[in-house]
Amino acid sequence: MRHVLARITLLCLFLAPSAVVHAVGADERDFSKGENLLKQKQYAEARASLKAGMQKDPSNVQAHLSLAEACRSLEAWACAEEHYETALQLDAKSGAIGSTQPRLRKETVWRSLEEVTAWRLLNDAKEMVSSGKVSPEK
């Protein structure tokens, strides 16, 4: 009986780490990888990884914030704006249903959103002038 119990214990010790790895979803791995790439300033790769994770879990507030930051760094203003707004909406929803997840620092997100919107509008205006759709005022 002891041998059986010892074998089961050893088996659990060897299988437990791989079971934990399998318990973490692919979306969490994508989010984690995206966060690490963002910290390393590999913005295009971070954006791709975070988007892959969001296909599996589109309600992850932190992933939307991270994706917004990656897009912002890539000067993809519309993408950044979209994901800042989504993060704010999801955060408001989670607060309404009493989620225990940490709430966003809204003032920081709003400031980032305003900055991104201003950059997007400025970029749009520059494109209109350079394409000849609008002539610059003198």
Q: What confidence tens digit (pLDDT) does each residue in 65-87 have?
A: 999 999 989 988 889 889 988 98
Q: Residue 12: inside a domain, yes or no?
A: no
Q: Where are the alpha helices (DSSP H) in 1-105?
A: 2-23, 26-39, 43-56, 61-73, 77-96
Separation of alpha carbons 69 and 131, rounded Å: 29
Report whether pLDDT(20) > 50: no
Q: Residue 84: inside a domain, yes or no?
A: yes
Domains in the chain, number: 1
Separation of alpha carbons 110 and 85, rounded Å: 9
Q: What is the CATH number of the domain that holds 60?
A: 1.25.40.10
Separation of alpha carbons 54 and 50, rounded Å: 6
Q: Residue 48: inside a domain, yes or no?
A: yes
Q: Residue 112: inside a domain, yes or no?
A: yes
Q: Residue 37: inside a domain, yes or no?
A: yes
Q: What is the mean pLDDT of the chain?
A: 74
Range of the domain at 98: 25-121
Q: Residue 31: inside a domain, yes or no?
A: yes
Report whether pLDDT(17) > 50: no
Q: Residue 5: inside a domain, yes or no?
A: no
What number of other Cβ atoms are within 10 A of residue 2's Cβ? Answer: 6
30 versus 26: the higher-pLDDT residue is 30
Q: Residue 101: inside a domain, yes or no?
A: yes
